[in-house]
Structure 1
């Protein structure tokens, strides 16, 4: 037999044992539809069942494909998801940063497409494992995307689509990674169910796999509903006021009117104090102002300090101020939450400096190179210096777990406040440079954190959306967007710990390790397939 004959026999044998993927003319629309389904699952649309549907569509499209095709299909899904999801990033910075960020995030779904194609032999051999493999691959992809580059960008995690879903309750057991796994597992069950022959089973025993998959789908949702959620420990209540002062105009130059923004928050607090004095409103134990409510450093400028003291003295309660502080070095600033007490002023022992500044927004890595891409980076004149300590602030009536803006998306930043003793979660944010979609996506993250740690939580924004979140994820007192508002609620403090708080990062580590094991197992099967016909 000639070499050519042997190669032909080998190709024929491989073709017989290698099932074919879906036609590319079908797979490409499915990949795009996967991204759009995932998009519709996020706020402001909030159709959470579409998240597992999107997972299933991508899994089916990339199954049995060559690695390059899997990457391309995953990238299409990523672009269809992230380009519209992150559209709010181009409102005031132009198209270049938005396009680059969207393409970068889509690149991680391209890696997921490669991984999905790679594990196809494993899935074909152990079809029952397809749902779990799909789940761990998604967790592994998100674990990588949440950390790289420059500390990662966790926006668009599957877990953040489930703010109104029964699966949200799983956050109390394993945090956002477990919720992501459950969503992707559900998608894996859907694709396993749909991958069967279209002809209906003719015998009773042929219905058993179908019935098993349907039962598993119901079981996943049932487990979510069965997880108890609520305040862990504690029981005392505090009255908290959120002051949403609004800004003169939206956009990157909102802080060109720094004095006006500060005055808005002071005046709203003074009006609240008048209502308290008149007996029409209960006096709050704590007032929370949002991020950037004082971009004039009150520790350096007496005029700003006097105005904040006027508000704190009038309301007779400590105010958590979102302030931009100068220093510690020349040309450096800090994004901080600073407790301002009535009669005594700033409490420098209760000061939180944002630990995770946003690259290219609050500091510019590789500034010379970044300037070649977009001159907008020069709007960041001073780099924000990261803090080193968790945002655990003793306000007197309650110990606060303070995180600032995008930090709510990072698991460890929030958890560190709870393990540090926080009884109430506070998210100070400034959405003046974005839009209502971004604000609602952020509020969905606050809902997950409240359930995850069994803590009541609140989000205070300069322009909205602000609101209170109970430990079971319900939102009350939500404000409108681009408007001034003051909302007050009684909040129950917690001091216990959920299983998710106790185990921390380990569920994500375990699930990501299983993803690596699945990739390794597929490599073994691929190697055996290559040598089998020889």
Structure 2
């Protein structure tokens, strides 16, 4: 027998080749998931690229197509990590080189788990009819527990906050941030489903134009409707967004005293903050007295611009010089030595009066949820540090300058309930004192400003943002910014704002919109689970019947 070279060469197995193809497909999906997460980040302020958000969910939807549980979680986690890492880089400026990147990385990893859970649950509902609808519900529903856990919640980066302008923003007047986020996700997931359907039709009808076939395909038409309807609904609502005064107007001044951009070194510099705001207030007074700007009806100082421990003759004199009441953001010392982050109504004749105290405190900054752990990651405490005391929601709308002024402070902008409570208490104008001086010249202040713009539309109220170091702004009830300051500058804004009394549908529905979306998502996941078990049961039955037939034939 003649032995040839071909006989001696081992046969190349096919399995490794198949694995290589799978590996390339996995890599492609990984890259698309990461790119989609980064595109989602690019849709956030300060960039006016709101339309990128639905496209990000289109890419995410394409990646999740046909995936199982593990793949759904993994790609969702990658999507989240590519989003949160750049979104929260301002934490690095806050922490500085001494702490390194570990708190930032830890928070981003924890938040990305929610996106991973979303990807996992989307694979559960993907076989249901109207799959894009259920996918959008699942993703937005997981923003609700993110406002609760961990450590009181961290809702930064909610989908709705990517829309301070554009087609979807008007939906905030109907259902707040949850409805805006749902509309964005639905558009994106539906576009992904439509592209997959067109690809399927093209493969089925190779000799026909897929678009022509799609016009006669009810499934494709239904999916296309999910792409178009949220955009059309948002555009159709814009004429209903009221901006006119309903109870007169007020001239409001906000004082931005500024702070040095020194990150954590700003700790303990409360006297500097106070001096800066006193100096800028004096400059504003000079402009008023020389008629360079109109005399305000209300003056606003930002969050923690001073410390209030008792009578304050210097502030009494300053407010009296304006001849108008002021809202003073300050650290208010209670008789027992504890402190509250408060906004105090200061009358030019009678001095300090009613105050609103911040309810949603910042973990590791204003209170310590786990002191032993906190000592490892925060510079804000020592053995004698005492937690701030949260407010109880009293005086959510302060009577000042013949106006009901709703107040919510800094971090509270990311949560739905503080602004909602102030409007329910009769607020005709909203004021947001804030201190972002810790976070450097990055994007944090602009991200927070975008939230205030959404709140303006959600509640149909003008919003005045008063910041220590910027961005301070005056926002119209339609979310447009009529005046703003730069970062790390000493500036003042004076503007005329309308007072409004009409409540929006979002105000009347309150949290029911959010909980309704959550309930629908839970129902979808339950339905998807039942359908999956039925499909698996049917497959097992068919396999068993096939085995039985084969044995009988044998």
TM-score by length of 2: 0.86
CA shift at 1:410, angstroms? 0.6
Deviation at 1:55, TM superposition (A): 1.4
Q: Does 1:131 align with 2:132?
A: yes
Q: How many equivalent residue pairs?
A: 501
2:267 paired with 1:265: no
Given the alignment of the two structures, is residue 327 of structure 1 paired with residue 334 of structure 2, yes or no? Answer: yes
Task: Provide, for residues 3-48 of structure 1, a one-character-per-residue CA deviation record: whole Å limited to 9, x for no partner.
Answer: xxxxxxxxxxxxxxxxx99932222112101210110001122311
Please point out which of 435, 438, 455 is paired with 1:433. 438
8 Å CA contact retained: 2:324, 2:401 = no
Q: CA separation in 2, counterparts of 1:149 and 1:271? A: 44
Q: Is the 8 A contact 1:270 1:314 kept in 2?
A: no
> Is 1:46 matched up with 2:48?
yes
Cα displacement string for residues 319-348 of structure 1 (whole angstroms, at most 9, x for unaligned residues): 111100123534x2110001111132111x
Q: Give the CA deviation at 1:374.
A: 2.2
CA contact (8 A) 1:238 1:397 kept: no
Matching residue of 1:56: 58
Q: Bigger shift: 448-457 or 21-30?
A: 21-30
Is residue 2:245 matched to residue 1:239? no
**In the alignment, is the contact (CA less than 8 A) between 1:231 and 1:493 conserved in 2?**
no
Residue 189 of structure 2 corresponds to 188
Look up the match of 2:233.
223
Alignment partner of 1:404 is 2:409: yes
Structure 2 gaps of 5+ residues are 1-21, 542-554
Q: 2:390 aligns with which of 383, 386, 389?
A: 386
Higher Rg of the two aligned structures: 2
Deviation of 1:467 after TM superposition, in Å, equals: 0.4
Q: State the TM-score, normalized to the length of structure 1.
A: 0.90
How far apart are 1:143 and its partner, in Å?
1.0
C-alpha contact 2:125 2:135 (8 A) present in aligned 1 = no
Equivalent residue number for residue 351 of structure 1: 355
State the distance in 2 between where 1:29 and 1:44 align.
Answer: 25
Matched with 1:527 is 533
The alpha carbon displacement at 1:234 in A equals 2.1
Structure 1 residue 224: deviation in Å?
0.6
Greater displacement, 199-208 / 101-110: 199-208
State how far apart, in whole Å, the 2-side matches of 1:255 and 1:341 are.
Answer: 30
The alpha-carbon deviation at position 215 of structure 1 amounts to 5.0
SS at match of 2:155: coil
**Distance change in 2, residues 1:506/1:22 (3 Å):** farther
Question: Is structure 2 residue 321 aligned with structure 1 residue 309?
Answer: no
Check if 1:480 corresponds to 2:482: no
Mapping of residues 208-219 of structure 1, within 5 Å: 208-209=216-217, 210=220, 213-219=223-229
Structure 1 counterpart SS, 2:391: coil
Q: What SS class does the counterpart of residue 378 from structure 1 fall into?
A: coil
Q: How far apart are residue 279 of structure 1 and its match?
A: 2.8
What is the rounded CA distance, in whole Å, between the counterparts of 1:309 and 1:421 in structure 2?
28
Q: Residues 21 and 64 of structure 1 are in contact (CA less than 8 Å); yes or no, is this contact kept in structure 2?
A: no
Q: Is the 8 A contact 1:364 1:377 kept in 2?
A: no
Moved more, 76-85 or 86-95: 86-95
Residues in 1 aligned to 2:115 and 2:24: alpha-carbon distance in whole angstroms: 19
CA deviation digits over 1:134-175, x for unaligned, max 9?
221122111111121232111001101111211000000111
Q: Is the 8 A contact 2:115 2:139 kept in 1?
A: no
Q: CA–CA distance in 2 between the matches of 1:82 and 1:324?
A: 31
Structure 1 residues not aligned, in runs of 5+ = 1-19
CA distance 1:150–1:504, change in 2 (3 Å):
same
CA distance in structure 2 between the partners assigned to 1:335 and 1:253 by the alignment: 20
Which residue in the other structure is 2:425 paired with? 420
* 8 Å contact from structure 1 (residues 312, 340) kept in 2: yes
CA drift at 1:197: 4.8
Pairwise CA distance, 1:281: 2.4
Q: How many Å separate the matches in 1 of 2:406 and 2:431?
A: 6
**Contact 1:359-1:365 within 8 A present in 2 as well:** yes
Deviation, structure 1 residue 250: 3.4
CA contact (8 A) 1:427 1:458 kept: yes
Q: Compute the displacement of 1:222 (Å).
A: 1.7
SS for the counterpart of 1:400 is: strand
Structure 1 residues 395 and 459: CA distance shift in structure 2, 3 A: same
Q: 1:206 aligns with which of 208, 214, 218?
A: 214
Contact 1:171 1:448 in 2 (8 A): yes
